[in-house]
Amino acid sequence: MQTSRPLCVIPVRANVPLDKGLDLGTAIALAVSLVLLAGVLARQIRIITRSDHPRLRAIETLATVGPIFLIIFSAAYVILSQNRADSFSEVLGRTDALYFTVTVFATVGFGDITPVTGTARVLTMVQMLADVILVGMVARILLGAVQIAEDGRAGGSGEPSAAEGQG
What does the pLDDT look like over 39-98, one tens digit per residue? 998 999 899 898 889 888 888 888 888 999 999 999 999 999 999 999 999 999 999 999
**Highest mean pLDDT (candidates 26-40, 91-105, 132-146):** 91-105
Task: Quote the pLDDT of residue 140.
Answer: 87
pTM of the full structure: 0.75
Task: Quote the pLDDT of residue 93.
Answer: 93
What angle, 0 to 180 degrees and rounded to 10, lies between the N-to-C axes of helices 94-105 and 54-83? 130
| pLDDT reading at 159 higher than 90 | no
Task: Please give the share of the chain, as a percent, with pLDDT higher than 90.
Answer: 42
Residues of 137-147 as b/e, b for ≥16 C-beta within 10 angstroms?
A: ebeeebeebbe
| pLDDT reading at 8 higher than 80 | no
Rounded Cα–Cα distance for residues 37 and 17 (Å):
19
